[in-house]
Amino acid sequence: MIIALLCITGALILLDKYAFGEFGISQPLIAGTILGALFGNLDAGIFIGAMLQLIFLAGLPIGREIPPDGQSGGIIGVGSYLLLRISNAEGHALLVAILFALAGALIGGQLEIVTRRFNEKMYRRFLKTGEHLVRCHLLGTLTAFIRGLCVMLPFFALAYYITIPPALPTMSRSLLMTISISVGCANGLYLFFKKSKIIYIVVGVLCGLVSVVL
């Protein structure tokens, strides 16, 4: 039941990516907050969402470029963590959830290509008949929803049923933060580094260090 609920909620949130509005609720941080609040672990939802957000910050859907689907990755990461925690220790759940999120983002990107090809068929059908424009267009919402279900269901089912052997390494929150902040810094520098902005980056670093020391 919880798997179905997570899949449906996740697929509905994922509609925000292309199918409706693009209000930003499918971003990993926001999706993590929503899933965490709905499924009873707000802190974990925000934390994992924030870490995945830093990792997927610079995935820009510009032109025909289809980057890994960070939005699907975020939902899969948080949802899998919530399911894995039912029967696993935190360190194991965190490790597997993050790996699922990264794999889910890669698979999600590929499924997006399939969805777009289906939309192309709908466009050709519209061109052929000249009718049913709205129907052909809005069918995209259904295919986007189904894509969401297809990409999430295997990960959530796996997360619900597996028990991770205690011998496997665990991931601590501080290690995940280190990796995510590193990737976040790289993403941030890639997007915002300019000669004229160096001063602001330095001011930011100084303020950050002061807040850490205090």
Partner 1 sequence: MRLGFCRLVKVFFSSLFLQTSWSFFSMQSMGFLVTLMSGVRKDQHADIREAHKGFFNTHPYMASYIVGATLRAHDEGKTPVNDIQRFIAIAQTSFASAGDLLFWRTVRPALLLLATILAVKIGIWGSLVFLVCYNVMHLYHRIRGIQDGYARGPNVIYVIKSARFTVVRRVFETIGALMCGLLCALVSLQTHALLIIPIAALILILMIKRLSSVIITIAIMLIMIIMLLV
Q: Residue 127 or 157: which CB sits closer to partner 1?
A: 127
Q: DSSP string spanning the chain?
A: -HHHHHHHHHHHHHTTTTTS---STTSHHHHHHHHHHHTT-HHHHHHHHHHHHHHTTT----TT-----HHHHHHHHHHHHHHHTTTS-HHHHHHHHHHHHHHHHHHHHHHHHHHHHHHHHHHHHHHHHS--HHHHHHHHHHHHHHHHHHHHHHHHHHHHH----TTS----HHHHHHHHHHHHHHHHHHHH--GGGHHHHHHHHHHHHHHHH-
Instruction: Please state the closest distance from residue 1 (CB atom) to partner 1, in A.
Output: 26
Region from 6-14, 79-87, 146-154, 174-182 binding partner 1, contact rule CB under 8 A = 174-182
Is residue 114 at the binding interface for partner 1, with CB under 8 A as the rule? no
Q: Using CB under 8 A, which of the segments 2-10, 48-56, 82-90, 157-165 binds partner 1?
A: 48-56
- Considering only 1, 40, 62, 167, the residue that binds partner 1 (CB under 8 A) is 62
Q: How far is the CB of 2 from partner 1 (least distance, A)?
A: 22
Q: Which residue in the set 2, 4, 129, 182 belongs to the binding site for partner 1 (CB under 8 A)?
A: 182
144 counts as binding partner 1 under rule CB under 8 A: yes
Contacts (CB under 8 A) with partner 1, residues 183-202: 183-194, 197-198, 200-202
Q: Can residue 129 be called a binding residue for partner 1 (CB under 8 A)?
A: no
Q: Between residues 3 and 15, which has the closer beta carbon with respect to partner 1?
A: 15
